[in-house]
Chain A
């Protein structure tokens, strides 16, 4: 029996794996110690659990356990990584390069630093969502201290050419920071091979608990330091104070271990379902897949259904299927997704998009149900759409003088 509602919003968050919960449980009531308590067994036990998780997490990304700094999540990691470098390397320069499709936690952090005197270059992306490496190379300056480019995009799933970006940053003596929250645990990420100096990621996007994340900070070639943004007891090698969230960290570790062991089989299964979904929906007229299909996360598909509005479309099935739209009909600005607009999509296509995010527990039955529900709703709404009627009559909608309100 198909159980409703179906969850297809795994880029927003993932359910916790029961194996993760099981690993966490002893660390709430029984083993509740503070990992910073050095003088008794409660503390030692907590510290040992944290150290083990640090190893599990480091192993997933090819890092040394000492290079893992625990945070509250990727928003904190992005803030710490970028602001921490800006402060620590102020004497070397003030220029940061990022791109327009980054997460708000990166963009707003950069905007904040601009007010403090940073110079920030926002690279445009190409229509497929990838940055242009030549533009990156051209943007590098002697004052460039940091290149902040995400590993994979949260809305369209495109994977940036991180190895090449890392090499360009290194050649110019800048550090490479990557928000890898969507990539870690989903695709192989190796900080050495990828040339990443600082990287943020989080547990809840990989079937772990919410409220715990990590910042990878490279210790050699080069040795990187970030200025703490939260001062206190000097935890996490002085880069992030605050009592460690021991159960969360234990869960994060377990989630990382499962992700590493199951990645190949999960990817194979999920990408097949994603492709099935995408191929079936592409059959509908005037439907466009957003983002480079060859450099994309295996579990994401972002599709624009022209002439129907995304929020209206979701309403057709949102009691049964949970997913996200690039439309922002509820926001005060009425602005659609800035990521889709950055690809050069017209506002109409951006308003007409849905993001499907599949996950570890997505079944073929759920995908079949989704294909039917989405197809039926698109067809129904097009019958109701004046734009579809005009399109069918051969009227050039772009040539109409619309009254903007």
Chain B
């Protein structure tokens, strides 16, 4: 199976690989997937308390090229968004942007789940209730 140019580009030059201080109140961390399933994604957001904007986003992913590309792209999209905007990122947007084939849709689902998990982690740390999300498109 051939990868799209965009997947290859994110794989070869991943954006925002790294680690934020998960102990910080302004950082939300989402860790999703499982080693047994062949992919684990950790996505982190840094939120400016004054403006509510996501000022930084980092990821680390264990997985195939599509999983790496999905998380790399997600971190790019997250930066500069508000939490409310970030919640709206849909896995199908990632699928479309990266031209993921049907067998790789689960990689985009994982990225969406990671975003939501990071947001909820941030909310809980800051005394807010967890958001309840609908199932993403599988």
> Residues on A close to B: CB < 8 A?
307-309, 311-312, 315-316, 327-332, 334, 336, 346-348, 351, 383-389, 397, 402-405
Contact = CB atoms under 8 A, between A and B. Distances in A.
Shortest 6 CB-CB contacts between residues of A and residues of B: A402-B34, A347-B36, A348-B35, A386-B42, A386-B60, A311-B64
A403 B32 CA distance: 7
Given A309-B64, A312-B68, A329-B67, 11 more contacts: A307-B62, A309-B63, A309-B67, A311-B64, A312-B65, A330-B103, A334-B106, A346-B35, A348-B35, A386-B41, A404-B36
Interface in B32-90: 32-42, 60-65, 67-68
Contacts of A311: 38, 64-65
A348 B36 contact: yes
B35 A329 contact: no
Given A312-B65, A315-B3, A329-B64, A384 B17 contact: yes
B41 A327 contact: no
B61 A334 contact: no
Contacts of A384: 14, 17, 60-61, 68
A328 B1 CA distance: 12
A336 B33 contact: no
A395 to B, nearest CB: 11
A387 B40 CA distance: 8
28 contacts: A309-B38, A309-B39, A309-B62, A309-B63, A312-B11, A312-B62, A315-B8, A315-B65, A327-B38, A327-B64, A328-B38, A329-B38, A329-B64, A346-B36, A347-B35, A347-B38, A384-B14, A385-B62, A386-B41, A386-B60, A387-B40, A402-B36, A402-B40, A403-B32, A404-B37, A405-B33, A405-B34, A405-B37
Contact of A389 (B11, B37, B60): B60
B101 to A, nearest CB: 8
B95 interface: no
B118 interface: no
Contacts of A403: 32-34
A388 B31 CA distance: 14
A336 B41 CA distance: 18
A387 B35 CA distance: 8
A386 B31 contact: yes
B33 A329 contact: no
Of B11, B19, B62, B68, most A-chain CB atoms within 10 Å: B62
B111 interface: no
A387 B103 contact: no
A351 B32 CA distance: 17
Contacts of A332: 103
Nearest to A308: B62
Contacts of B67: 309, 312, 329
A62 B62 CA distance: 49
Contacts of A330: 1, 64, 103-104
A404 B109 CA distance: 13
Contacts of A383: 17
B31 to A, nearest CB: 7
B119 interface: no
A402 B38 CA distance: 12
Contacts of B11: 312, 315-316
A360 to B, nearest CB: 28
A405 B106 contact: yes
B110 interface: yes
A385 B32 contact: no
Nearest to B19: A389
A312 B62 CA distance: 8
Contacts of B17: 383-384
A330 B66 CA distance: 10
A248 B63 CA distance: 42
A389 B62 CA distance: 11
B27 to A, nearest CB: 15
- Residue from the set A348, A384, A397 with the largest chain B CB neighbour count within 10 Å: A384
Contacts of A405: 32-34, 37, 106, 109-110, 113
Contact of B35 (A312, A331, A402): A402
A94 to B, nearest CB: 37
